[in-house]
C-alpha cells in the first residue's frame, strides 16, 4: 500500500503546488486571495519548521477569494493554469471542476 502521509505527500506534490502559486502570482491574483486548507498548513510548516506538522488530507489547492470584485481586470485562470501543464477535469454528476497536473 502506498504511503499517503503528510511526510511523503508534501514533497511529492510540492512542485505542482508551487506551479499553482506561480500562476496566481503571474496573473496578479496572489495578493487578492488566501490559500487555505492543507496547503496553508504546508506553508506554515515551511515558515515555522518543526513547530507545525502539516496534515495533508487532500491534494487540491483550496483558495479563498475575499472579494470577487478585486482585481477589476478579469483573469482567465483556466488558460493560465493550462499554460503550466494543468488540465480541467469536471465531475459531470456534481459539477465540481478542478485543474489537475498532467504529471499526476
Residue 101: alpha-carbon gap to chain centroid = 11
In sequence order, which residues have a C-beta less than 8 Å from that of residue 22 and are 6 or more positions away?
84
pLDDT digits (tens, 9 = 90+) for 48-79: 776 666 676 677 888 888 887 888 788 888 88
In sequence order, which residues have a C-beta less than 8 Å from that of residue 86 and are 6 or more positions away?
19, 20, 99, 100, 101, 102
Model confidence at 23, pLDDT cuts 50, 70, 90, reads very high
Q: What is d(CA 76, CA 90) in angstroms, rounded to the nearest whole number? A: 17
Record the pTM: 0.73
DSSP state of 82: H
Amino acid at each position: 500500500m502506498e504511503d499517503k502521509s503528510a511526510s511523503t505527500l508534501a514533497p511529492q506534490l510540492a512542485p505542482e503546488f508551487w506551479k499553482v502559486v506561480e500562476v496566481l502570482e503571474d496573473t496578479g491574483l496572489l495578493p487578492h486571495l488566501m490559500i487555505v486548507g492543507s496547503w496553508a498548513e504546508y506553508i506554515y510548516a515551511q515558515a515555522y519548521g518543526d513547530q507545525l506538522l502539516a496534515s495533508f488530507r487532500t491534494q487540491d489547492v483550496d483558495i479563498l477569494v475575499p472579494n470577487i470584485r478585486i482585481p477589476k481586470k478579469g483573469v482567465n485562470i483556466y488558460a493560465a493554469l493550462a499554460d503550466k501543464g494543468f488540465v480541467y477535469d469536471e465531475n459531470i454528476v456534481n459539477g465540481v471542476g478542478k485543474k489537475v497536473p498532467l504529471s499526476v
